[in-house]
Amino acid sequence: MKIMSILTPAALLLSTIAVGQAISQASPFACDRSALTSAARRRHFDELGPTLRGMIRNVRELRDGYEFEFPADSETFRLVAEWAAGEHLCCPFFDIDLRQEREKGAFWMRLSGRSGVKQFIEADLGKWMAGRTRLP
């Protein structure tokens, strides 16, 4: 009994510390442009972003983010994958998924994440959604 009464508070303390560390390790909602080299920043923000923005076919709103549909060709897939790799470095709080549907179906990029990510997407990538029909 005495061992249990000592272990229980210790276990609670350790679990509280672990939760606190997990929360403090979450990156802030800010784009860390310094995570990319100067050349990579130019490529990511000045070339890939505007190119991909013009290629978006549809936008689908999700509970925790958005999906963007792109043409389903190999060159577009390569460009989106390159953009996603850069985005992962400067915005590590995003969950990024690329999905190519079977039988020559649609190609989607999903940006989602923890609470607040959806609002960050709306603020930071609002141009990607402007004037586009949002699918259910």
CATH number assigned to the domain covering 33-135:
3.10.28
Helical residues (DSSP H) of 1-134, grouped into ranges: 2-24, 38-41, 49-55, 74-90, 117-124, 126-129
pLDDT tens digits along 20-73 = 444 557 877 778 888 999 999 999 999 999 999 999 999 999 999 999 999 999
Where does the pLDDT of residue 15 fall: very low under 50, low under 70, confident under 90, or very high at 90 and above?
Answer: very low
Whether the pLDDT of residue 10 is over 90: the answer is: no
* Whole-number pLDDT of residue 25: 78
Average pLDDT over the chain reads 84
pLDDT tens digits along 71-128 = 999 999 999 999 999 999 998 999 999 999 999 899 999 999 999 999 999 998 888 8
CA distance 29 to 94: 9
Q: Of the candidates 105, 92, 90, 99, which has an alpha carbon nearest to the alpha carbon of residue 49? A: 90
Residue 3 has a CB neighbour count (10 Å cut-off) of 7
C-alpha distances (whole Å) from 7 to each of 17, 18, 19, 20, 93 are 15, 16, 18, 20, 35
- Does this model's pTM top 0.75? My answer is yes
Domains of the chain: which residue ranges?
33-135
* Whole-number pLDDT of residue 27: 78
